Amino acid sequence: MLKRFKVVVSDHDFPDLSIEKSILEPIGAEVIGAQCKTGGKSLLKFVKDADAILQQYAEIRADVIEELEKCKVIARYGIGVDILDLEACKRKGIIVTNVPYYCVNEVADHAISMALMLIRRIPMYWKAVREGKWHWSASGAPIHRIEGQVFGLIGFGKIARNIARKVKAFGFQVWAYDPYVHEFFMKEEGVRKVEFEEIIKESDVLCLQVPLNEKTHHMIGEKELKMMKNSAILINTSRGPLVDNKALYKALVEGWIAAAALDDLEEEPAKKEKWNPENNPLLSLENCVVTPHSAYYSEESIEEARRTAAEEVRSVLLGQAPRYRVV
């Protein structure tokens, strides 16, 4: 078949491009995997003459976008678009799409699992048992009943609402801070709307579920950590740079808070060609659990993200309107 379109996958961490090819090759597209996860100018040699780009982790900024010769669409495999210069895309007339619904249950379930694990101090018990300690006090700190504890949500979008509905079954009070969501809407979900300082000070579990931007970068730093209860647990199932990792290390070592669970680190290892875990001291702590930016993962969610992103590219290349246009 005559190749009508060139579609470049900037980078991907799944084993092949079979889903993308099954959707795009029938319309005459050649699908090329660049595997340029750091993005930048090094990506340009692959995408300069591309008709479309599928983007996972590689950053695509204005200096690259301005040199694209015929790109019609950049489709994100995920929800957030902070790794893409939207203004540059607008100027260039490039459509941007995302996949807004693919992992709502997965991320919510991951956040809740992290919270329950640390409230019940499962990692601490497991370490104690391996050391030959067999006693209810072996977790090293008091454990309190879940019922009545405050599960605080910073951000009240789709995933946070999913979390709220589920944790109420355990008896949590659910509070939320989100200046963009009206109190009436939260009340309908059985959630109490509070201000930022109050949710920091009063939460027993504080869960971050917001996008990364200039306002949210390091939204949890030394000041906020010192305001939290010393029995509190911090959960971040959003982007790594929301939390100042140096401040968090100090907070966990000095006992400002009890524990933390992070699904990403501030340096965002997935965006690096080489990453050394020894460079982040959080990974040495017993009271800090870290997963490799995997909260979104299930076999079903990965397939949905890939299929949806490829379908968006197909729509644009065929002159049709995409379902999930960002700009």
Options 1.10.3720.10, 3.60.140.10, 3.40.50.720, 2.160.10.10; CATH of 5-102+299-317: 3.40.50.720
pLDDT at 209 over 70: yes
Q: 10 Å Cβ neighbour count for 259? A: 25
Q: Can you give the pLDDT at residue 216?
A: 98
pLDDT band at 1 (very low <50, low <70, confident <90, very high): low
Greater pLDDT, 271 or 286: 286
- Looking at the chain, the whole-number percentage of residues with pLDDT higher than 90 is 96
Q: Can you give the pLDDT at residue 98?
A: 98
Give the pair of three-digit tokens for residue 26: 């029938």
The pTM assigned to this predicted structure is 0.95
Return the sign of the alpha-carbon dihedral for residues 95, 100, 101, 102: positive
Cα–Cα distance measured from residue 270 to residue 263, given in angstroms and rounded to the nearest whole number? 12
**Left (φ > 0), alpha (ψ -120 to 50) or beta: where does 168 sit?**
alpha
- Report helix, strand or coil for 6: strand
Tens of pLDDT, residues 12-25:
999 999 999 999 99
Q: Can you give the pLDDT at residue 3?
A: 79
DSSP for 164-180 reads HHHHGGGT-EEEEE-TT
Q: Can you give the pLDDT at residue 272?
A: 87
Angle between helices 158-167 and 104-119 (to 10 degrees): 50
pLDDT band at 284 (very low <50, low <70, confident <90, very high): very high
**Is the fold of 5-102+299-317 the same as that of 104-290?**
yes
Q: Active-site residues: which are they?
A: 239, 268, 293
DSSP for 292-303 reads -S-TT--HHHHH
- Quick one: 29 exposed, middle or buried, by C-beta within 10 A (0-12, 13-18, 19+)? buried
Return the sign of the alpha-carbon dihedral for residues 241, 141, 226, 286: negative
Q: Can you give the pLDDT at residue 300?
A: 98
Nearest to 78 by CA among 317, 272, 294: 294
CATH, range 104-290: 3.40.50.720
**Residue ranges per structural domain of the chain:** 5-102+299-317, 104-290
pLDDT at 200 over 70: yes
pLDDT at 40 over 70: yes
